[in-house]
Amino acid sequence: MFWQAPPPTDEQLAVGLVVMYPGAFNSQWEMQSFYEGLLAAGRPEAIQIMPWGDHLEQWAAPDGFYDKLQAWSEQEAQRIAAYRADHPGAPVTLLGYSSGALTAILVTERLPADVTVERVILMSAGVAHDYDLQAMLERVTQHVIVYWSPVDALAVELVGDLGTIDGAYESPAARIGFTTEHEKLLHISWEPGMVANGNSGDHLDYLRSPAWIRDTVAPWIATRDDDLPE
């Protein structure tokens, strides 16, 4: 049986919420290293993993998929809004990996006018590099953090063959970041020193690198104060 994250407790939900949207596999196990890395860092928030489609659906059944994803994102935005209403002041972070980065973007864009989240983290985004992030940024109070790798060869290969989740066939944000510029938008690139924690800059390294998630990604999770590390 594949790994699944346990449901969060009421105590964790009272502290804050981290929602993670997986890549094209749309599975809980795809995000296991993320989950374990956040726990190893001592993160006290509730952590939820939310698949947004069927396994490889974006490529296996592309007809109508984008409309379906937008409808799903609308419902998910309402779920996030309900959490905020029930837990005022508890910080919210949305994290999207690979194709799931677009889901995180769409959900944030669709939040009700009076609802925001503190942070959005886009990990190796399988999204067009020129996707306009302005609408998402308007719904974020602290930062949007974009992690990309200049040596992510698999992302380029997949996009060349199958396209990004939003239908582009050029270099994805996973390889070069986004072109949008904004004071809330922080780009962080892979560096060779990350190899020590198991991240060689490849698109799939995060699936087996909880130590890297612990040391690098966990500090990006939103707290009540905007305390991004230097």
Give dist(CA 44, CA 196) in Å, integer: 26
What is the length of the chain? 230
Planar angle of CA 220, 196, 32, nearest 5 degrees: 55
Phi-psi region of 16 (alpha: psi -120 to 50; beta: other; left: phi over 0): left
The domain ranges of the chain are 10-220
- Per DSSP, the residues of 209-222 read -HHHIIIIIGGGS-
- What residues form DSSP beta bridges with 148? 189
| 46-49 vs 185-189, strand pairing mode | unpaired
* 46-60, 160-174, 192-206 — most confident range: 192-206
Q: Would you state the pLDDT for residue 2?
A: 81
Q: Would you state the pLDDT for residue 161?
A: 64
- Reduced to 3 states, what is the DSSP secondary structure of residue 143? strand
What's the helix, strand, coil split of the chain in %, to 5?
40, 15, 45
DSSP state of 127: S
For residues 1 and 134, which has the higher predicted lDDT (pLDDT)? 134
pLDDT band at 181 (very low <50, low <70, confident <90, very high): very high
The type of residue at 24 is A
With respect to CATH, is domain 10-220 assigned 3.40.50.1820?
yes
Q: Would you state the pLDDT for residue 69?
A: 92
Q: Would you state the pLDDT for residue 45?
A: 98
Residue among 47, 146, 133, 141 nearest 96 (CA): 146
- Reduced to 3 states, what is the DSSP secondary structure of residue 22? coil
pLDDT band at 224 (very low <50, low <70, confident <90, very high): confident
- Whether residue 29 is predicted with pLDDT greater than 80 in this model: the reply is yes
- Whether residue 1 is predicted with pLDDT greater than 80 in this model: the reply is no
Give dist(CA 147, CA 96) in Å, integer: 11
pLDDT band at 214 (very low <50, low <70, confident <90, very high): very high
- Whether residue 215 is predicted with pLDDT greater than 60 in this model: the reply is yes
